[in-house]
Amino acid sequence: MKASKSKRYFWAVTVTCLPESREALSYWLFSLGALGCEEVENRIIAYFEDQDEHALHQAVIRGVHRIRESGLPVDPQSIDLHRFPEENWMENWKRYFRPVRIGDVLCIRPPWHRAASPPMLDIMIEPKQAFGTGTHATTQLVLQAMVERRDRLPEQALDVGTGSGILAIAHAKLRPGSHVVGIDIDPVAVENARENARLNGVAAACDFRVGSIEAADERTYRLIYANLEKNIISRLMEALLQRLQPAGEILFSGILARERAELEKLLVQHGLRVTRVRQQDDWLLMETEKPHV
């Protein structure tokens, strides 16, 4: 076949690793902008938009080294990059993005899947570069906690590290009449979040802004979503607390099971009470509350 200049290409990055490193690795690959990740036997395959091979390879190697430094086994020699044309894409892509159900309350699906029937709430997420298609354990844990609170979700909430906007959109759908501020340092994520809010008819209920906590107004919230990761959580802790009302809650996700003791210590040091810890695969969600004063 003749090569066409306008043909679109993608990268499939395959890393062989042991099960204990898989979650950390897929989290890292998503944070590099992976459009999706799949686990096949002892490998993770992450799909990326077309880009410079060397830069992508180096970024993945950096991630592998970071994961190794944190004590998890993964071999930098095991990274394989493969570029493939768009026409071979859909079968990979669609196989991965199946609808995700949270109890019988929420269904998160890519736009090409059939809508869930009521009373299940239907959420469409366009899988682009932003993290948060609903397939990752860290997102699902927050959604589960949210669904369990659906009768008492507050009118105002803050979503720190909104990614695709999935948590803000779910909040707006579960709590009609609410208003959610979603912030992300990544402008591409914010653009994707706005598009997803429009797709779900909740654009007026969601206010997405580029930036970290300073991008949120100087007010306090009864509920803050923080699906970040340990180091970012610890960096943002003071700023998060300043935005939290007394008796308000922060749901921290993106924490690895082995980080539990360290995180718990940090939260308690900052005067938060851990009310519940949920686990899925290697990931934890810590539900915390600021005591009444």
Find, among 143, 137, 139, 147, the residue nearest to 280 by Cα.
Answer: 137
CA–CA distance, 225 with 250 (Å, rounded to integer): 6
23: left (phi over 0), alpha (psi -120 to 50) or beta: alpha
Q: Of the two residues 124 and 166, which places its CB atom closer to ligand SAH in the complex?
A: 166
71: left (phi over 0), alpha (psi -120 to 50) or beta: left
Find, among 151, 146, 131, 97, the residue nearest to 229 by Cα.
Answer: 131
Q: Of the two residues 213 and 257, which places its CB atom closer to ligand SAH in the complex?
A: 213
- For the bound state, the minimum distance from the C-beta of residue 238 to ligand SAH, rounded and expressed in Å, comes to 13
**Strand, coil or helix: 84:** strand
- For the bound state, the minimum distance from the C-beta of residue 190 to ligand SAH, rounded and expressed in Å, comes to 9
CA–CA distance, 153 with 185 (Å, rounded to integer): 25
- For the bound state, the minimum distance from the C-beta of residue 192 to ligand SAH, rounded and expressed in Å, comes to 9
Find, among 174, 135, 142, the residue nearest to 161 by Cα.
Answer: 142
- For the bound state, the minimum distance from the C-beta of residue 100 to ligand SAH, rounded and expressed in Å, comes to 11
Classify each residue of 88-97 as buried b or exposed e, where b means 16 or more C-beta atoms within 10 Å of its C-beta.
Answer: ebeebbeebb
Q: Of the two residues 110 and 163, which places its CB atom closer to ligand SAH in the complex?
A: 163
Nearest-Å Rg of the Cα atoms of the chain is: 19
- For the bound state, the minimum distance from the C-beta of residue 82 to ligand SAH, rounded and expressed in Å, comes to 26
Q: Which residue(s) pair with 182 in the sheet? A: 159, 208
Q: Of the two residues 31 and 119, which places its CB atom closer to ligand SAH in the complex?
A: 31
Residues that bind ligand SAH (CB under 6 A): 130-132, 139, 142, 160-163, 166-167, 183-186, 189, 212, 227-228, 232, 236
- For the bound state, the minimum distance from the C-beta of residue 80 to ligand SAH, rounded and expressed in Å, comes to 25
Q: Of the two residues 188 and 247, which places its CB atom closer to ligand SAH in the complex?
A: 188
CA–CA distance, 67 with 75 (Å, rounded to integer): 10
Q: Of the two residues 91 and 218, which places its CB atom closer to ligand SAH in the complex?
A: 218
Pairing of strands 121-124, 156-160: unpaired
- For the bound state, the minimum distance from the C-beta of residue 134 to ligand SAH, rounded and expressed in Å, comes to 7
Q: Of the two residues 45 and 141, which places its CB atom closer to ligand SAH in the complex?
A: 141
